Amino acid sequence: MRDESLLKNYLCNSPQDTFDLGEKIGESLQGGEIILLEGGLGAGKTLLTKGILYALDFDVDEVTSPSFTLVNRYDAKFTVYHLDLWRIEENAAFAVGLDEILENENAIVIIEWSERLQNFSFPKKVIRVKIEGDGDEARKVIVS
């Protein structure tokens, strides 16, 4: 992440604010980052991911939650792997082939429901994004 000033707390009052924050994060990426997303159902994890991919010159209409496929690959400015661990109870890293994905050192890896990884040790820089709130309320987003 080029811009360390993005590592702070945000208040997203609308879906557009969440998308725009994703775009800011995406603009700061240099390749090789791992983005761990935490937040409940409907918190805006996929919307934030769409903003990131928009900044990486990818068609956001092609970005979908990988809830059923577990892993989506997008060939944008960088190769982006978008993982969703919501349906996986145990051995999440193994179930999605995370070790193999991480072999691509320039790829950006975005993981929804990252808390399911438990104590997985990442070899690269990790950006943690925690989204609090759901429904029509504003979202508190913590980027660390």
The total number of structural domains that make up the chain:
1
- List the CATH number of the domain containing 50: 3.40.50.300
pLDDT at 20: 97
Confidence check: pLDDT of 6 > 90 = no
pLDDT at 7: 86
pLDDT at 118: 80
Residue range of the domain that includes 58: 4-143
Confidence check: pLDDT of 18 > 80 = yes
Looking at residues 24-46, what average pLDDT do you find? 95
How far apart, in Å, are the Cα atoms of 97 and each of 68, 114, 134? 15, 14, 30
For the chain, what is the mean pLDDT? 91
Separation between Cα atoms, residue 142 and residue 96, nearest integer Å: 26
pLDDT at 48: 97
A 10 A CB-CB count for 102 gives 18
**pLDDT tens digits for range 82-103:** 999 988 877 888 888 899 999 9
Q: What angle do helix axes 45-55 and 15-28 make, rounded to 10 degrees?
A: 50
pLDDT at 30: 95
**pLDDT tens digits for range 53-65:** 999 999 999 999 8
For residue 48, report the phi and psi dihedrals to the nearest 5 degrees: -60, -40
